Amino acid sequence: MTDKVTIPALLQTKRDGRKSVGVVAWDYQIARIADRAGVDIVSVGDSVGKFALRGLAQSMARELSPQGIHVAHVVIDGGIKSARRAETADNPDSLLDPDAIAESYMHLIHQPRSAWAWEIELRPWVEKF
């Protein structure tokens, strides 16, 4: 994505009488499309829904773990490599490998109950925060 827009820059834009365009995107992919289209301000608004999902998983884990039920929330934050979506030669390992995702799930499934994880985030090493 492009450089971040600051509040002082937005205020100056308004004082100058220039218009700016803003979009609230509901996922990362739509945010990238808006950014590439030249939208001035892109806000990813999926955080409320995702936070609710995360909270539900945490609550379920606390409720069900004593009954021997392992509940986990897995975040897959990035593109997934496939036959239709290949990595570029100049940016290896920039997409999540399906086999690596499967290995993470298998690790989660086979964890000893003395050290259960209730949340795992998977993202490629090039992902920007």
pLDDT (tens digit per residue) in 20-35: 777 767 667 777 777 7
pLDDT given at position 129: 59
For the chain, give the mean pLDDT: 83
- What value does the mean pLDDT take over residues 59-71? 91
Cα–Cα separations (whole angstroms), residue 103 to 38, 87, 98, 110: 38, 20, 9, 10
Q: Indicate the pTM of the whole model.
A: 0.61
pLDDT, one tens digit per residue, over 85-113 is 888 888 888 899 999 999 999 999 899 99
pLDDT, one tens digit per residue, over 32-41 is 777 777 777 7
The helix/strand/coil state of 115 is: helix
| Rounded CA separation 59/75 (Å) | 17
Highest mean pLDDT of the ranges 7-16, 35-44, 81-90, 109-118? 109-118
Q: Is the pLDDT of residue 1 over 50?
A: no
Q: Where are the alpha helices (DSSP H) in the chain?
A: 7-15, 28-36, 47-64, 98-109
